[in-house]
Chains A and B, each alone.
Chain A
Amino acid sequence: MKSLLAALALTTALTAPGLAQARSVTLTTQMNRYGGDGAYLAIYVTDPSGAYAGSLWMAGTRSRYYTHLQGWYAATGGDLAQINGITGASVGAGRTLEITFDLADALFDAGYTLHIDAAVEDMRDSPDEIAVPLTTAGAATPVSGGRYIASFGYAF
């Protein structure tokens, strides 16, 4: 019984800090009706100095197209290890992509910027179509895209 309690206390102690330092965030990306095939989207974050910090999501599974996601590719060299476990299908025109993550609290109000590169087969690439600072206040304000993305927002 004592060992069970000790194990419970230990797991709680190990889990609690993780829960306290993360928050559930939903990214919503509404695509324009651009009249083409499914869009590839690379969603990634840069740190306050503008250096690549990591990837959050890759929409589109064919690695040979990743060169068209120019900002992401320049930062990663197309390293698939950056997007293992966070890769899904490309997103069709007019559709809405919703992704919910448990993101580190340290990303918000600390100078980090979320970027989205977009590309569509046989159409013009759109690097950095979205670039928004990650702030608590910014969660309430969707931003407009340019070529393929109608709007993007994040909510807690």
Chain B
Amino acid sequence: MKKTLALLVASTALTAVLALPALASSGEHLTLRERVAHWFSFFDDDDHDEHRYGERRRHHDDDDDDDDDHRGPAAAPVGTVAPPANGLFGNGTPPRVQVN
């Protein structure tokens, strides 16, 4: 029992010795609380848009629609099928589109 306890204390001390320099160098201008939060954030691999240290990670959506895995059903993009037969289009030629 004493041997197990000694091993536990030793491993905890070793971890602390290794972790403290990493904590200290993880942000020159951060408080200890922020450093601890920052260190534990390594274990958080969520990719939510969220506030971190007062800096908002914005999700820019400027004409790029391919970055979302939860889109749901989608219409067929231009050029993959003929336009709908709604009587507006003179023939089956797909529209030609350009964004400048």
Residue A104 CB within 8 A of the other chain: yes
Which of B22-30, B37-45, B86-94 has 4 or more CB atoms under 8 Å from chain A?
Answer: B86-94
CB <8 Å contact, A88 and B77:
yes
Tell me, in angstroms, the Cα distance from A110 to B72 when the chains sit together.
Answer: 38
Number of interface residues of A (CB under 8 A): 47
**Nearest-CB residue, chain A, relative to B90:** A22
> Which of B68, B81, B100 sits near A85, CB closer than 8 Å?
B81
Query: Complex formed: what's the CA distance from A102 to B91 in Å?
Result: 7
B55 proximal to A (CB < 8 A): no
Interface 0/1 of B53-73, CB less than 8 Å to A: 000000011111100100111
B90 in contact with A90 (CB, 8 Å) = no
Q: Which chain A residue lies CB-closest to B68?
A: A62
Q: How far is the CB of B84 from chain A (nearest CB, A)?
A: 6
> Which residues of A have CB within 8 Å of B79?
85
| Cβ–Cβ < 8 Å partners of A19 in chain B | 90-91
Judge if B99 is at the interface, Cβ distance under 8 Å: yes
Cβ-defined contact, A89 with B71, below 8 A: no
Give residues 86-137 of A contacting B (CB, 8 Å).
86-93, 95-107, 121
Q: Residue A153 at the B interface, CB < 8 A?
A: no
| Cβ of A21 under 8 Å from chain B | yes
Determine how close the nearest CB of chain A comes to the CB of B54; give it in whole angstroms.
Answer: 20
B90 in complex: contacting residue of A18, A99, A100, CB < 8 Å? A18
Q: Name the contact of B76 in the complex, choosing from A21, A60, A85, A100 (C-beta under 8 A).
A: A85
Residues of B within 8 A of A138 (CB): none
What residue in chain B is nearest A107 (Cβ atoms)? B88
User: Which residue from B63, B87, B97 sits with its C-beta under 8 Å from A98?
Assistant: B97
The CA-CA distance from A104 to B96 in the complex, in Å, is 16
Asked whether B82 is an interface residue with its Cβ less than 8 Å from the other chain, the reply is yes
Query: In the complex, what residues of A have CB within 8 A of residue B63's CB?
Result: 38, 89-92, 95
Taking a contact as CB atoms under 8 Å apart, the answer to whether A91 and B99 are in contact is yes
- Contact residues in A for B97 (Cβ distance below 8 Å): 57, 88, 97-100
Which residues of chain A (18-50) have a CB below 8 Å from chain B?
A: 18-19, 21-23, 37-38, 45
A47 to chain B, nearest CB (A): 10
A54-B84, A63-B71 are contacts. A86–B95 as well, Cβ < 8 Å?
Answer: yes
Interface of B with A (CB < 8 Å)?
A: 60-65, 68, 71-84, 86-91, 93-100
Q: Which 4 residue pairs spanning A and B have beta carbons closest together?
A: A22-B90, A54-B86, A37-B61, A102-B90
